[in-house]
Copies of this chain bind each other. A is one copy, B any other.
Amino acid sequence: MEFNEHLKNIEVYEAGKPIELVVREFGIEPKEIIKMASNENPFGMSPNVSKAISDSAKKGYLYPDDSMFELKQGIAKRFDISSNEIIIGAGSDQILEFISRAKLNENSKVLMNKITFAMYSIYAKQMGAKILQTDSIHHDLNQYLEIYKRENPDLIYICTPNNPTGDAISKEEIYSFLENISSETLVVLDGAYMEYAKLKDKAYFVEPKELISKFPNLIYTGTFSKAFGLGGMRVGYGIAKREILENLLKMRPPFNITTLSLLAGIEALKDEKFVTESIKANFVEMAKFENFAKEVGFDYIKSYTNFITLLLPKGYNSSIISDNLLRKGIIVRDLKGYKLNAIRVTIGKPEENSRFFHILKSIL
């Protein structure tokens, strides 16, 4: 049977290994396993949120309020924007999917960083679009501009802080780049880890309100999966001018987040304190990773997120190290697939990090 021709070029995204798989494959007890592979918030979610989910479990038989009225109101308030400048997705991933499907086709070009979130290229390939990439590990916006001028892409992705590297781009750099981009080109600014950058260094913080007002061709994407600790609930959002959103909304299926996810998002927005404290604890722990790296002679990328990329010196192989960690119940992300001899490690809770340091040392 024939399917669309461009499907032949699509690889399937490989998600971080779940705890269940490690239990199945290596027979390790779940409580002995530390998942440091998918950048969830190790402190979980606000207790108010888990209580709300728990109390409302029985409501899961009802479809959610598909207008997502209250969640949009909460997001609008948080960012000082209008509710109709918001689109809700099953994670910000789904917003990226809507963007690809509304904007791209087999004649389109998409510009992105060499190493960045894998779904940008997967969604682009699903539409048969051509992918343009820089050749530097970090976002080099001068190179972006060069390629932009030469190729005139339809869509540009900026991921800051960037995943899977953890580095960020300053507001000043971003703004001066965007001033050169035509209003016909859609720019996605993926701020999945922006809450972390904001607390670490204000110079790296960009706000959706100002961004879309200065650059109406831009859509900002954000998520509840990271700082808000709702990874498994799948709630994200896009913020853009109505002209863009009206097109993306045509790609949104009804009931695209669950009833309990909707409730969780609404509740999560009411507990900003939990978010701030998680992030503060994250950076206290991050310093331990930096010290550990120096101690064992690893390089690392300065991170504005809840993970750190450890660059392995010659003589070490990131795939072997990841595999050996896995056999001891520690799941990290091997970046060999991104052509980096590096592992990406989610910053865990203090006791998890100590165990990680201990076990990693024991296998070096």
Q: Which chain B residue has the least Cβ–Cβ distance from A3?
A: B247
Q: Which chain B residue has the least Cβ–Cβ distance from A43?
A: B61
B67 engages A12 (CB within 8 Å): no
Q: Which chain B residue has the least Cβ–Cβ distance from A53?
A: B57
A44 engages B58 (CB within 8 Å): yes
Known: A63-B15, A70-B20, A229-B61. A91 touches B255 (CB 8 A): yes
Interface membership of A231, Cβ < 8 A = yes
Cα separation A208 to B141 with both chains bound (whole Å): 52
A96 to chain B, nearest CB (A): 9
**Residue with the greatest number of chain B CB neighbours at <10 A, chosen from A105, A126, A258, A260:** A258
Contacts of A16 in B (CB 8 A): 63
Cα separation A44 to B56 with both chains bound (whole Å): 12
B1 engages A183 (CB within 8 Å): yes
Cα separation A16 to B66 with both chains bound (whole Å): 9
Q: Which chain B residue has the least Cβ–Cβ distance from A16?
A: B63
Interface membership of A251, Cβ < 8 A = yes
Known: A40-B61, A69-B21, A101-B126. A255 touches B234 (CB 8 A): yes
Interface membership of A326, Cβ < 8 A = no
Known: A10-B250, A232-B61, A233-B60. A255 touches B15 (CB 8 A): yes
Interface membership of A269, Cβ < 8 A = no
**Residue with the greatest number of chain B CB neighbours at <10 A, chosen from A10, A65, A126:** A65
A101 to chain B, nearest CB (A): 7
Cα separation A361 to B105 with both chains bound (whole Å): 53
A93 engages B253 (CB within 8 Å): yes
Binary CB contact string for chain A from 81 to 108 against chain B (1 if under 8 A, 0 otherwise): 0000000001101100100011111000
A102 engages B232 (CB within 8 Å): no
Contacts of A41 in B (CB 8 A): 61
**How big is the A interface, by class?**
35 or more
Known: A1-B217, A50-B57, A260-B53. A40 touches B18 (CB 8 A): no
Within 8 A of B (CB), among A27-69: 35, 38, 40-41, 44-45, 49-51, 53-55, 57-67, 69
**Residue with the greatest number of chain B CB neighbours at <10 A, chosen from A35, A40, A60, A243:** A60
Contacts of A59 in B (CB 8 A): 232
Interface membership of A2, Cβ < 8 A = yes
B20 engages A62 (CB within 8 Å): no
Interface membership of A186, Cβ < 8 A = yes
B13 engages A97 (CB within 8 Å): no
A40 engages B62 (CB within 8 Å): yes
Interface membership of A254, Cβ < 8 A = yes
Given A18-B66, A20-B70, 16 more contacts at CB 8 Å?
A1-B184, A3-B103, A7-B102, A15-B254, A19-B62, A19-B65, A41-B61, A49-B60, A63-B225, A93-B255, A97-B253, A101-B101, A126-B251, A231-B259, A232-B260, A233-B259
Contact residues of A with B, CB < 8 Å? 1-4, 7, 10, 12-13, 15-16, 18-21, 24, 35, 38, 40-41, 44-45, 49-51, 53-55, 57-67, 69-70, 90-91, 93-94, 97, 101-105, 119, 126, 183-184, 186, 217, 225, 229-234, 243-244, 247, 249-261, 264
